[in-house]
Structure 1
Amino acid sequence: MAKKKNRPTSGAATPAVATLKAAGVDYRVHEFDPGSDHFGQHAAQALSAAQGAEASAIFKTLVVDLSAGRGPRRMLAVCCVPVTGSLSLKKAAQAFGVAKVSMADPHDAEKSSGYITGGISPLGQKKPLPTRIDATATSHPTIYVSGGKRGLDIQLSPHDLATVVGAEFSDLAASS
C-alpha cells in the first residue's frame, strides 16, 4: 500500500477517515454541499465540477440483506456501485453466494454501519460487513466513496479500498 500523503481537512474526521489514516494508504477528502436527497447525484455533480471526476468513478455504498428477509436476524453486506447506475440484486446474490438478496432496511443499515443513510461508507463501519465492489472500479486509478457523512467523499485507489475493507471485485451493476 502507498503511504498516506493527504491529511483530512479539519472537521472531516469520521471513522472512515480514521480507518484510512490507520491503514496508511493514500487518500484525499472532498467536502461539498450534499443537498437534501439523491445524495449520489449531488456527489457526482459536485465532484465533477470541483475535481473533474468522472461520474463513473463515483461510487455509492448500498447495504443489502443476504437473509432476504427470512428470520428475525439479518445478515447484511455492502455493495459499492457507480452512482451512474444501479445494483443488480441478482448479481449481488451471485457475488455473495446466496440465492437471493434484498435491499436492507435503512434502520438496519444505519444501526450496523454507524452512519446515516446517504452517508454510509464502506470504511470504518461499526460492524464491518462482507463487501463487494463493482468490477468497473478497477478501470479507474482512483474512485470516490462516501467518507461517512453526507457531503464528504474520499478519493482513493480501488485496490486500496478493497484491501482495507477486505472486499472482492464483482460484476454488480444492473445492465442498462
Structure 2
Amino acid sequence: MSLESVRAWFAQHAPDIAVEESTMSSATVPLAAEAYGVPPAQIAKTLSLRVGERVVLIVTSGTMRLDNKKAKALLGGKPKMLGVHEVADLTGHEVGGVCPFGLKAPLPIYCDVSLKAFDVVVPAAGSTHSAVRIAPQRMAELVGAEWVDVCEDRSAPAQP
C-alpha cells in the first residue's frame, strides 16, 4: 500500500520523478547506499519523532544524527523516536521505507541543512525496497518542508 501511495503522490506532484525498486533491501542507510550505488551520506533518511502530542518528520543526510539540544530548541520539547507500530500507523509507511511523500495524513516536515551538500539525494519511497533520486531543494519544496539545522555529523569527533 505504501509504495503505491508514494507512486500516486509522485504521479500527481512530480510525474518526472520515477520510483526505483531494488531487489536488495534498503531498510537501513548502509543497505540503501549499497542498493542505490551512492555514499551513505547521500541517503536521505526520514526520522519520525514525537514532541509532546505532535508528530514531525525530519529528513537528514544518512550519516547525520539528531542533535537533541538543537531539536528541542527548534521543536519546543524533547523529541522521541516513534515506535515501529506508531510509525506505520501515523505515516502509512513501514520502518525502513519512511519518507515525506505519500503520507497517510499531513505532518510537519523539516529538512536538515546537511542535505544541501548534495545535488541529488536518495530518500526511501514507502517500502524497504524502493527509493527516488531527487534534488534536496526540490524535495523540500514539493513536501512543504522547512530547512533547519538540527543534526550533528556522526563521523565528526565528539566535542569535549
Scaled by the length of structure 2, the TM-score of the pair is 0.84
Say whether 1:144 aligns with 2:122: yes
Residue 35 (structure 2) aligns with: 46
* 1:89/1:102 contact within 8 Å kept: no
Residue 42 (structure 2) aligns with: 57
The 5-angstrom pairing of residues 7-86 of structure 1 reads 14-24=4-14, 26-32=16-22, 33-34=24-25, 39-48=28-37, 53-67=38-52, 74-86=53-65
Q: CA RMSD in A?
A: 2.0
Secondary structure at the aligned position of 2:46 is classed as strand
Q: For structure 2, which runs of at least 5 residues remain unmatched after alignment?
A: none
Residue 6 (structure 1) aligns with: none
Secondary structure at the aligned position of 2:110 is classed as strand
* 1:95/1:132 contact within 8 Å kept: no
Aligned length: 152
The 5-angstrom pairing of residues 105-116 of structure 1 reads 105-116=83-94
Secondary structure at the aligned position of 1:129 is classed as coil
* 2:91/2:105 contact within 8 Å kept: yes
* 2:3/2:130 contact within 8 Å kept: no
Q: For structure 1, which runs of at least 5 residues remain unmatched after alignment?
A: 1-11, 68-73
- Residue identity over aligned pairs, in percent, reads 24
Distance 1:78 1:65, change over 3 A: same
Structure 1 residue 25 displacement after superposition:
5.5
* Structure 1 residue runs of 4 or more that deviate by more than 6 Å after TM superposition: none
Secondary structure at the aligned position of 1:141 is classed as coil
Distance 2:28 2:141 in 1: 26
